Structure formats: structure tokens, C-alpha cells
Amino acid sequence: MKKRFSGLFLCLILSVSCGGQFSEIQRFSIYKETLTVGIMSDLQIPENAADDNLYVANTKKALEYFRSQNIDILINAGDLTDLSANSSYDPYSQLLQTVFADKRPVTVQVMGNHDYWNSYGKAETLQKLRNRFQEMAGDAPWSHKTVNGYHFLAISPVNGAMDGSYALIEDKIRAEIETAVAENPKNPVFVVTHQHPEDTVYGSDDWGNAALTKIFADYPQIVSFSGHSHYSLLDERSVWQGSFTAFNTQCVSYVELEKGKENGSIPPCAEDSPMVMIMEISSDELKIRRYNLAEEREEKSPWIISLPLTPSEFRYTTEKRLAAATAPVFPESATASGVKPTTVKTDGKSVAGFTFTAAEHPDFVHSYEAEFSGNGQTVTAAFFSDFCAGLDKMSPNPSFAVPAALKPGEYDVKITAVESFGKKSANQVTGKLTVGR
């Protein structure tokens, strides 16, 4: 998985090549008024994966769905592989050829950090890894393409470091954006990177890149697509507008969430809802639809971006959505029944836990905050809800393991519900809990 690197870590760097060399613009014309774009990210196909490997199977579903939608353009925001081996690229390369045998879409693809990594310190130059990506995926790591006059920039990181090192090629990135904007200042410019621009979409505070935000902030025409964090597309923070527009792409592999919750950043439901997106580009708007590969259905309402891109008219700013957001509410049945002891499974073991009736919200409850008071201590802890399993699968009675910090004894417990933009329930569920070790 993406952030669990020890003995594997980065390949030995035998080259100081900075990278970031964009080739001449490739121009395509498709005789359609509305262009359809399939968007995916973070396949992380392992070495020597069989056809029934979950991530390979998800990739196949994604490409077949895109084929059914008659996509004209395919965006892949990086981490095609787990460790950059030919045998990791093979399933993806073969599926592209098979699924799109009669009509391959225009591809806009970037390398991710995993596409620079390899197993157990095997020495390979950066350029060799880039060449492998280009040979197997069919795109240079840095490319500039137009389709019906719309510009698409693919901007790979220059190495496998977690910061992406986009700052090292800032001048080259700006030059390509300037060229795109100069050709048609009113058109969106679609930019694909592996990392998010920092402090934009869901996941960008933990896994974003400040250099990208600095660059993109000068161009309101930019529509950014990025992966890397694996954060859930079900969360409305996966679209952001400020000085430009940005989208998180989630992943085809496993969901990861922010740090700091008791039940961990890689939840038990991490592999339950792999997702992709479809974007429709018309003269007056972008429509972005979210698709659940496991459930074979669209999720939630489409995001609509009006064109031309005018910051004063952006609808998905954090300020506007925070103002419109409502707090979760616990139903009377929840407050009446209170918090009850239970047992839960953690890493295959049964441990002491607590359960209660879920709060309600027009979208979904993102997490719960619990306060345990008694026995000479007060402990606060936060827990993710099970939203990543699918909104229709969320338990009406969430259960969580008792925090390890609690000493044996009796505690008063108070539970508060929290929605995605941070608004908290005015009412709480309370109860008593006896903890024994």
C-alpha cells in the first residue's frame, strides 16, 4: 500500500536528471459537441498479479465502464503500479489494448511515486523508470495535448519522493500553462498531477504539494485532477474551487482517510468502494459524475462547473459550502437508548467496545467524537463512521473499540456527530461504560 514503505522504499537514484521535458503539443480533433472523459487513479497493480487480483479486476471494470460510456479521453492520475515492474504494468497495458481494441481514447497519464519505486533497492536510473512508464502506458511522463481546442497537461513528479518535487520544474510547468491560456483564455485548462495542490481538495492538507498550489493560483482557467491520497470521492470536499478548480480522484485500489482517528487511516471498508469519474465537457459547463465500480452505479449528484471559469461565480468554494452545511442530529431514539457496551473485531480479535444509534444528516456523518470522563481521567477520541463502505451500507448502530488510553473503571460517555465540513451535532448521546482490562 502507498504509505507503507520500509525495505522496499525508493529505487537507488543513479541519475540527477531533473525531468519535466514537455514535447511538442499533440493536437486531436473529435467530431462531437460534448467530449466525454474517463478519470481514474492509483491502480497500484502488484508485481506478477493474476487476472483475479482485486486491483486488476477493478482496473478491468473501470476500463470497461469507460468503454460503455464511449469516452474520448482517458485521464490516469498516477500510481499505475505498486513497484514499477514490467509485470505490474502488463495487466493495465493489456487491458487498454483489449478493451479499446477498435478505438483507443486520447490518453493523459502521469507517473506517481509508486511508479518510481521498485523492490528491495534494485538500482535503476530515473530515466529508465520514465522510459518504462512511457513504453508500457503509452505516454511520456510530461505531455501537452489538445482535443477540440481544450488543453490537457500531464505533469509527472520528477522522482518518487513524497513531495513530488514539482517545484524543481516550476518554470516549465508555467510555460505550458501560459501557452494553453494564450491560445484560448476562456477555455478551461485541464492539468493532471499525481499529488493534489495543497490546501484544496479532501486529502490535500495531508498529501498535497504547496508548489502546485502556488503555480495554479495564478490561473483561474485551471481544472486540476489528482490522486495520491486515496481519499473518498463520497466526501463533497473532493471538489474545490478558490483561485482555480480542483478534483480529488480517489482510487481504483483502496481508500485511505486522514490521520488522527482511533479506528485508523486505512479503515476496514478500504477496498469496498473503488471509484472512478466521468467528465462531460460542453461549451457552457463541465459535468462530473462519480461511479462506484463495486456496486456498478453512480453515486450522489453530479458536480456542475459553469463555463467560462469565473472565480466570483464559483459554487464549490469552501466558504459557500460551509455556510450551507447543516449539523448532524441524533434522533430521540438515540438519546433515549444511550451508549451501550459491546464487543468489536479489531485485527481479527474481539475487544471491548461501545455502540449507539447513528446520527442523521442530509449527506452523511463523517465521524464521531467521544468523551470519556471518570476514574480520575478524561479521554477524548475521534472515530470515522463507516461511510467509505457506501452510504447505503452505513450501520444504524455504529460500534467502536474502547480507546486503549482508558484505565479500568467506570466512565460517563458523551458522543458528538460531525459532518464533512466540521459542523457538530448540538445534541449528544450519553451513557455509562465500564472498562475492564
Tens-place pLDDT, residues 357-375:
999 999 999 999 999 999 8
| Per-residue cell: 317 | 468554494
Task: Tell me the residue ranges of DSSP E strands in 35-140.
Answer: 35-40, 73-76, 106-109
Q: Work out the pLDDT band at 4, boundaries 50, 70, 90.
A: very low
- 354 and 262 in a single domain? The answer is no
Tens-place pLDDT, residues 83-101:
999 999 999 999 999 999 9
- 290 and 346 in a single domain? The answer is no
- 307 and 229 in a single domain? The answer is yes
Domain-terminating residue out of 322, 347, 379: 322
Domain residues for the domain of 404 are 332-435
- 103 and 217 in a single domain? The answer is yes
Report which DSSP code applies to 391: G
- 296 and 339 in a single domain? The answer is no
- 239 and 184 in a single domain? The answer is yes
| Per-residue cell: 311 | 472565480
Domain-terminating residue out of 296, 322, 348: 322
Lowest mean pLDDT among 2-6, 44-48, 327-331, 423-427: 2-6
For the chain, the average pLDDT equals 93
Domain total of the chain: 2
Q: d(Cα 42, Cα 53) in Å, to the nearest integer?
A: 15
Evaluate whether residue 79 is within a structural domain: yes
- pLDDT score of 234: 97
For 170-176, the CB contacts below 8 A with 24+ separation are 170/211, 170/214, 170/215, 172/20, 172/21, 172/22, 172/142, 173/20, 173/215, 174/215, 174/218, 175/22, 176/22, 176/144
Evaluate whether residue 37 is within a structural domain: yes
% of the chain beyond a pLDDT of 70: 95
Q: Give CA 414 to chain center in angstroms.
A: 32
Average pLDDT over residues 270-293: 97
- 315 and 342 in a single domain? The answer is no
- 234 and 127 in a single domain? The answer is yes
Evaluate whether residue 14 is within a structural domain: no
- 168 and 239 in a single domain? The answer is yes
- 140 and 272 in a single domain? The answer is yes
% of the chain beyond a pLDDT of 90: 86
Tens-place pLDDT, residues 223-258:
999 999 999 999 999 999 999 999 999 999 999 999
Domain-terminating residue out of 267, 295, 322: 322
Evaluate whether residue 64 is within a structural domain: yes
Q: Any idea what the CATH number is for the domain that residue 366 is in?
A: 2.60.40.10
- 248 and 354 in a single domain? The answer is no
